[in-house]
Amino acid sequence: MKALILALLTAATATVTHAQTTVFEKNSSMQYVMVPTDKARDARFIEYAALKACGGESVCTVMVWADSLDKPTGWPFHPRYRENQLAEFQRNYGTGVARSMAFNCKLIPRTSGMNCF
């Protein structure tokens, strides 16, 4: 019974979380994602949003920003957007990179073991 309740709660949370994130641009295997401003300092939420954006892709890069009217387009984007970028997630099973996550530690509180850029 506990397993069923946990599964239902997880599914409900995943649906809500996915609805709150927006993939606003995709260039090949690179995606730009926006998360709600109230989640912009939540490293776990940001990582979950990046994983959801990648889905089952074996090669994927996700760059994450908070909701904003001023968002990057194209690649490469203007350097000013790097200052406001919250995180970057990379996965490439072909090269053995299963999961690489780095955060902008000027904007997100640093925790033990967190990679920063």
110 in a structural domain: no
54 in a structural domain: yes
93 in a structural domain: yes
73 in a structural domain: yes
33 in a structural domain: yes
CB 116 within 8 A of CB 56: no
In the three-class reduction of DSSP (H, G, I as helix; E, B as strand; rest coil), residue 113 is classed as: coil
pLDDT 10s digits, 31-59? 999 999 999 999 999 999 999 999 889 99
Mean pLDDT over 16-30 rounds to: 66
Domain with 37, as residue range(s), is 2-103
pLDDT band at 12 (very low <50, low <70, confident <90, very high): very low
* pLDDT averaged over every residue in the chain: 80
What confidence score (pLDDT) does residue 69 get?
66
Higher pLDDT, 112 or 86: 86
CB 25 within 8 A of CB 79: no
Residue indicated by tokens 């690489």: 100
109 in a structural domain: no
29 in a structural domain: yes
| CB contact set of 87 (below 8 Å; sequence gap of 6+) | 43, 46, 47, 50, 63, 64, 101, 102, 103, 104, 108
Question: What region, left, alpha or beta, does residue 96 occupy, with left being phi > 0 and alpha being psi -120 to 50 degrees?
Answer: left
41 in a structural domain: yes
100-113 core/surface letters (b: 16 or more CB in 10 A; e: else): ebebbeeebeeeee
